[in-house]
Structure formats: structure tokens, C-alpha cells
Structure 1
Amino acid sequence: MNKQRKTYILLAAVIIIWSFVGFQFLGYLESDDEVLSEVAYTKFVPKKAKDKELYKVETHDRDPFLDKYNKPKKKIKYTPKKKKDPVIFPQIRYKGSINNNGKLLFIITINGAQKIVKLNQVVSDVEVVSGDNKEIKVKYKGEVKIFKK
């Protein structure tokens, strides 16, 4: 084959390829809008999941570095402590004290009612544990609180 013949064959191939590309391009430009048909949708039903296999990691009692057997540690169970409800004291005010023949009496106001109380005397669930001229210790439902004058 001579050189001129090869050139004509290659020129024909290039013209055929470019014409094919041109027709494709013009076909896209002149195409009408396609009417999309409605697609029938089906209800999605998920597949049932398979049960997973549970694996348990077993511990070995032998220490590979020391070549000794370890004793299994005891598990400590944590039990949370129950919180007690806070005791709400009645409205108590310490007014003062009276010394009556060596006995100390205390004047206190409990919920607006004024009382004269001796040591260890219980008045409406309030017990005076100890006291002096400046302050008293009062016990109410197991809780102790200090009231000052």
C-alpha cells in the first residue's frame, strides 16, 4: 500500500466517526421531551432479621507471662444506698430560757404556738435535747437541728 492510499482510508474513517458523533449530538438537541410513564410502587416490606449468635469470651486462669494460675476475682455487687426523704421541720423559733429553782425551761414557738418546755420533753413531735441561753438542740423525727435566739 502506498502512502496516498493509507491517507484516503484514514480520512474516510475520520469522516465516518465525526459524522456519527455529529448525528448523535444533533439527535439530543432536537429530541422532544419524553413523557414519563407512572411507575407502580409496591409497599416496602423489610426482611426479617436473623437471630444473632451470642459469643461469650472465656477467661483463662493462667498468666502467660508469669506462668502461674490466677485465682478468679470475686465480683463485688454494688447496691445503691436508699436516700431518705428530707425531714421538714415545723416552724420553730427559740425565744429564751427560764431558770426555775435549778431547772432550765425553754420558751419556744412551734408553728405560731408558744410553749414552755423542759429538757427531753416532747411537744407535738418536737423534743428539746439540750440548750442554754443562746441556743437549743431540737430533735424532730430522728433529725437534730440547732436553733439560735
Structure 2
Amino acid sequence: MKKQQKTYILLIAVLFIWGAIGYQIYSRLNPPTPELNLTQVQSTFQKQKVVTQTHYEIKEEYRDPFLGKFPKKKKIIKRKKVNPKSKVIIPFPNVVYNGLVEGNKTKSYILTVNRKQEILKKGETHQGVKLISATKNEAVVQFQKQRKTIVKQ
């Protein structure tokens, strides 16, 4: 055999081997789809009614796994409803600030409550009117949780 004939035979053998390898790869990547025989099955399925379930309930008395204690029960505080008509509303008394009297280290203030003049210090009460604070020109008084600022006359 000549050299050229051997080359052609080897070329054909190489092409045949590479063709077989290519066919193996192609057949693995694209497998043939199997044919399925469809059989008809008669079902005896009956639809059941849907039953709604209640939500999960958590028990109130459980032991806390981290603290190892039972939780404290919440105290329910019932507040009394106050009828606004039942309260007797007393009007703010007539208060006049007359001025201040200074002593050695103390300051006293002159207030006229319902036409009765009285000398008061801060925090003192006269006829239900409490002197909260005062300056030369004005005084702050409180009567039944109501505060008023009174200017000197």
C-alpha cells in the first residue's frame, strides 16, 4: 500500500470514530420522547364540603421557656364614669392682687378674696384660693385645680 492510501484509510477511520462520538453526545442531549398510551380511568371522586377551621388558640397560662416563669396576669382597672351634670361647678372667686410686703428675708403678698383682704406667703391658702407664685406686678393663684394670673391693680 502506498502512503497516500494509508492516509485516506486513517482519515476515514478518524471520521468514523468522531462521528460515533458525536452521535453519542447528540443522542444523550436529545433523547427520544417515549409514546404514552392514554388510558381512560373512570373516577369515583366526590367533592367534599369545605369545613372552616377555627383559628389556633393560645393558652393564657403557659410557662415562658426563657424566663421559666408563668406570665403575670393583667389587672383590669375599671374606671368610674363621672356624670358631668352631677358635679357642682363653683365659679372662680373674685381675687384682686394688691401688692407685696417685704420683710428682712421674707416676702408676703396682699390678696383680696371676695372683698376680704389677707396677707399670704407662697403656698398658703385663703378661702380655697392658693397663692402659687407672685412678682411685683402679678400673682398666680389656684382654685379647685384652675389657675389664673392676676395683674396688680
Higher strand share: 1
Q: Which of the five TM-score ranges fits, normalised by the shorter chain?
A: 0.3 to 0.5
Larger Rg: 2
TM-score norm. by structure 2 comes to: 0.42
TM-score normalized by the length of structure 1: 0.43
